[in-house]
Amino acid sequence: MTTQANIQALEKKQLEVFGSKLSYLEQGSGAPMLFLHGVPTSSYLWRNIIPALENEARCIAPDLIGMGNSDKPDIEYTIFDHIKYIEAFIDQLDLKEITLVLHAWGSVIGFDIAMRRPELFKGIAFIESQIRPMVDSSMVSLPMHEINALVNNIEEGKHLVMDSTYYVDQILPAGVLRHLTDEEMQEYRRPFLKPGSCKPIWQFLLDLPKGCRQTPVLDLITNYSEKLQHSDIPKLMMFAVPGFNTTIDTVQWAEQHLPNLTLVDIDEGLHYPQESNPELIASELKQWYEDAVLGVE
């Protein structure tokens, strides 16, 4: 795995959105393939996958606002803020015929925009994603229950998350099968070293559905999930069981409810399979894109 060579080869750009800089990686040409990461990662998560797709598509991987190399404006960093910034990012780059590649919390952003504006999209690939509302705590996996426990005691949890790199140091490695190098951990830790810089992580924990009560975020997921079940757009679900978001029940639900779906088992990968099995993910994504999206025989 040529991690450092891959990240250096990707072109780093910035775009001003609502007065703040959104940083993004771009490589390749053709129709856009938009990669959206989850928490607490960044576009760095895709560094070993994008190079395999650059001859197929214009690969674009933004850092969500407040994360990676993007600015940290004085906002709440709710999922609705993230949707607002990414939707504006798409419009300012005038992206059309987009294929989404979604991970975790980034999937909530991508699914919502795609189901509201389907004319802009021609394919959706997703990993460890929020494809249905967690309306009951029994639907939430054990790892997610443990993550949700950080907000059970608001005062203690907020101090732990906001005043240190605890979430990156503890949760990220626990979601990867291999040992992350010091260089990799430093890159993931870097955006959250300054006081107050972990606000996007804390807000994510507050917004995360916990299967115990109705919230605006749960309503959002319910709405796009219903639309996904009636959308013929090509879909690729790459799953690793056990995952954090993905259980066997989730895979079975997707197979039964999502039309035009390709299911691919990417072996063991936990929550961040991009770090565990990037070559396999890149290969499966490329094959599906050629077959299902481009229609290449």
Query: Which residue shows structure tokens 């189901």?
Result: 115
pLDDT digits (tens, 9 = 90+) for 174-217: 999 999 999 999 999 999 999 889 999 999 999 998 876 789 99
Residue type at 190?
Answer: R
How far is 218 from 242, CA to CA, in rounded Å? 23
- Classify residue 189 by burial, with Cβ atoms within 10 Å: 0-12, 13-18, 19+: middle
- Classify residue 209 by burial, with Cβ atoms within 10 Å: 0-12, 13-18, 19+: buried
The pLDDT assigned to 5 comes to: 55
Question: Residue 233 in contact with residue 122, Cβ under 8 Å?
Answer: yes
The pLDDT assigned to 146 comes to: 82
pLDDT digits (tens, 9 = 90+) for 71-108: 999 999 999 999 999 999 999 999 999 999 999 999 99
The pLDDT assigned to 6 comes to: 63
The pLDDT assigned to 2 comes to: 46
Question: Residue 44 in contact with residue 100, Cβ under 8 Å?
Answer: no
Domains of the chain, residue spans: 3-293
Cis peptide bond N-terminal to 242, omega within 30: yes
Q: Mean pLDDT by 10-residue block, N- to C-terminus, for the chain (297 residues)?
A: 60 95 97 97 97 96 98 97 98 98 98 98 97 82 80 86 93 93 97 94 92 86 97 96 86 97 90 94 97 83
Give per-residue burial for 31-63: e unless 16+ CB within 10 Å, then b.
bbbbbbbbbbbbbbbbbbbbbbbbebbbbbbbb
The CATH T-level fold of domain 3-293 is Rossmann fold (3.40.50)
Q: For the chain, how big is the Rg over CA atoms in Å? A: 18
